[in-house]
Amino acid sequence: MSINGFYINLDRSPDRREHMEAQARKLGIDWLQRFPAIDGQQLKPSPRCALSAGGLACFMSHLQVIESSPADSFTFVFEDDVELSADLPLVLHEAQLQALADYDLILLDCQPNFTSATLLMLWGSLVRQLANQEDLGHDGAARHLRGVDVYNAPGLYCWGMSSYVVTPKGHRTLPPLLRHCLDRGPPGQMDIFVSHACEDRRLKAAVLVPFLATPLLESYEGTTIDQRSQSAEKLALVSAIRRMFFAGPVSGIQEYAQPLLSQAEAVNPQLQLLSRLMGRIFELSARDGKFVVG
């Protein structure tokens, strides 16, 4: 078994390159290498492609990384705006990876489905796996882990391909699926296609919680590909929630989220009351340890 890894980086983003290389040096993961990203500014998508040039370039870059990696390896793939958990090399050692070899894809982070049951489940994992429970009360805490929980992707994984591992099994199944989609003219972003492939069992994927790598909050404001169709406000809100389940410092979330939460908006008073009641039920459920609902 071999381990290799790449971060996808545009030539015109040297600051992101230094960001990733500094993290690799700090964590001692000398197997992490730069993979030059395809630049959407140099592409002209065909009429049958529903993606923008930037989205198509992102799809092609991920596929090239996977196709160029040894078929018998566990290949880590990161986008260049992620923060890596200090526990990444400690948690995903050879024995742990081998235990996950039956999956095609191991997601180290994702935008989860935002049902109460799912979020309570993620919160439960965070509580169980933190080595020091007091870290939950401190935004800047390092958040070291005991381990991670492994969940099947269907029902949990909504979107996101910023950090993942392709297993040897996945090296056989994932490239043909992605190549077929690309050759037809992708109907949407790569991660949405992967989510659908997980749901209909064309791919077998796992999500590790707490997240071992996750995008920086500021990356949502300075993305090098096109924004998604969601409103900027909604994307910012769900991104803040996603960041809360990171196995590392979460400093800055409060400042990031406060303007979004304090924005006055004319809403139906009954809808506002329902929102507050749901929030209180969530708090009580988490407090009582009823992390899995339904």
- Per-10-residue mean pLDDT for the chain, 294 residues long? 94 96 96 95 81 90 96 97 94 91 98 90 92 81 90 96 97 96 88 95 97 87 50 79 91 80 70 83 81 44
Of 105, 138, 136, nearest to 123 (Cα)?
136
Please state the pTM of the whole predicted model: 0.91
Q: How far apart, in whole angstroms, are the C-alpha atoms of residue 185 and residue 192?
A: 14
Contact predicate 205/105, CB 8 Å: yes
* The predicted structure's pLDDT at residue 293: 43
* The predicted structure's pLDDT at residue 228: 47
Q: What is the CA radius of gyration of the chain?
A: 19
CATH of 2-261, one of 3.30.420, 2.60.120, 3.40.50, 3.90.550: 3.90.550
Of 75, 95, 89, nearest to 167 (Cα)?
75
Q: How far apart, in whole angstroms, are the C-alpha atoms of residue 248 and residue 135?
A: 10
* The predicted structure's pLDDT at residue 238: 86
* The predicted structure's pLDDT at residue 221: 61
Four-point Cα dihedral 12, 8, 154, 71, nearest 10:
150
* The predicted structure's pLDDT at residue 173: 97
* The predicted structure's pLDDT at residue 278: 84
